Chain A
């Protein structure tokens, strides 16, 4: 097999017809470094954006976790059941609303194997819990977003959630 460097010279000759600014180079020419400066500036700006987005997301998720803990505590205090398996749906009523649906069995049992009590919790955290604005019962083996399976809605806003 031939040496690559000898074939390279003849190969490079074919680019001579191109204008100088378009010709390929084996190595970069030492210049004023303007392009490198622009690239570095863009990189730093992108880096700042990613860093701010990361910190913002950590703060957002920390808030979500605090709400999650308060939601579960609210459900346990409201129902009087100190059950371990309590589910919190933070998207059902819109993730931006910060209104969450917390569901758990009304008697001991595997998750969703029994009738569930679901609560809509809202507002800021006070004393480690949030305000219950509505609630409903849900038949066993049902998902909390299936409206037709809800019954016995209660609370100030309860009527809006039952079929």
Chain B
């Protein structure tokens, strides 16, 4: 009964955001081709107040649902119930507009730069195709910026450019949906292989409000990266363990990193944990193939991921913990020295985790901690960044990681509520 009520609240809150968002003309809904117009007659324009109330309701119901499932009703909450809830949430968000981010239009713009206009997306930003129909949808901050995504992701998105802007947008939504479905399937299998409750593991990710509303709602390519990550984890935890599987797992991580560089965080922990040649060989072969493909397609700029990462590391967002701590100590914001201090802290954390992994600590947990540390120490924090450690947290042997990840997500949500306390308009 309690589980059903929580599920109903999550579905209702998500539906409210999607139906109101379908009307467009909201600061929370990016300007977009009309892909959800058929839903627009039901809701009202999405304002901060309604969005934040729906988000908070969804978060409270998510916490309640987990508590109920863990505490007493596990026997009464069937796998069918959880899968059904996850499917319903995915369908609702898939049918709706793009939520809360213009990133997907940057993905499409980079693809159209290369395919339609013959311009290298690693040397030119979307501003180079200002007359292209996608340009009006690209976020102002990103119009001058060259692609920071890996060459593999750009090559995957290239064929989608041929579908036109609306077609490519739907294709990106399908890609995000399939990546999410694949990630959840792999999470189920990893949890089962490691002796955890797969139903709870899938529930923790598939109904997570940040995952559903921000990650899936924005059709972010982080979902594709998480799919590669979980594919690698599954290959490593599945029995029997073979060198081929370990090599393939390392290759998958490199593939994920060639889509979005953050995935590379898993590789050192996997290698240190196994201490065998197969993952190193797999990683090197995949890296060589990926870099060669990237170089042939985009030249040297396409494989120069370090400069892209350095450029992005200099960005500062008001939601980052670094900015919040700066404000706490009376500073107006993050200074250059803070970037160095944060990088130093991150290095210390990773070294400690590598040492712990060398001495037998669960490499999946160590990878998850490192991803959480990357997002917490980053000066550019977005909601979908704090999704990275979640699938690892639900299948690792250190429960503290799950608690820490959910705590960080909670703090992110709390940081959003100012417009609710002091509306400006």
A interface vs B, CB < 8 Å? 1-5, 7-8, 11-12, 15, 24-29, 35, 39-40, 43, 47, 49-58, 60-63, 65-66, 68-69, 95-96
A62–B243 touching, CB < 8 Å: no
Known: A4-B276, A50-B321, A61-B418. A68 touches B242 (CB 8 A): no
Q: How far is the CA of A27 from the CA of B398 in the complex (A)?
A: 13
Question: Do A65 and B325 touch across chains, with their CB atoms under 8 A apart?
Answer: no
A3 engages B240 (CB within 8 Å): yes
Report how far A29 CA is from B360 CA in the complex, Å. Answer: 8
B312 → chain A closest CB, angstroms: 22
Given A53-B321, A57-B324, A96-B332, does the pair A24, B359 have CB atoms closer than 8 Å?
Answer: yes
Instruction: Kindly state whether residue B81 has any CB partner on chain A within 8 Å.
Output: no
Q: Do A28 and B360 touch across chains, with their CB atoms under 8 A apart?
A: yes
Chain B residues near A95 (CB-CB < 8 A): 332
Q: How many residues of B contact A (CB 8 A)?
A: 40
Task: Give the docked Cα–Cα distance between A4 and B243 (Å).
Answer: 5
Whether B49 sits at the interface, judged by CB under 8 Å, is: no
Given A27-B360, A66-B422, does the pair A60, B327 have CB atoms closer than 8 Å? yes
Across-interface contacts of B321 in A (CB, < 8 A): 50, 53-54
B185 sits at the interface (CB 8 A) = no
- 9 A-B contacts, Cβ less than 8 Å apart? A4-B241, A5-B240, A5-B241, A7-B276, A43-B404, A50-B321, A53-B327, A57-B323, A65-B424
Q: What B residues does A57 contact at CB under 8 A?
A: 323-324, 327-328, 415
Name B275's contact: one of A5, A24, A43 (CB within 8 Å): A24
Q: How far is the CA of A106 from the CA of B324 in the complex (A)?
A: 37
Separation of A26 and B275 alpha carbons in the complex (Å): 10
Binding-face segment, B100-108, B300-308, B406-414? B406-414
**Docked-complex contact A47 and B327, CB < 8 angstroms:** no
Report A-chain residues with C-beta under 8 Å of the C-beta of B404: 43, 47
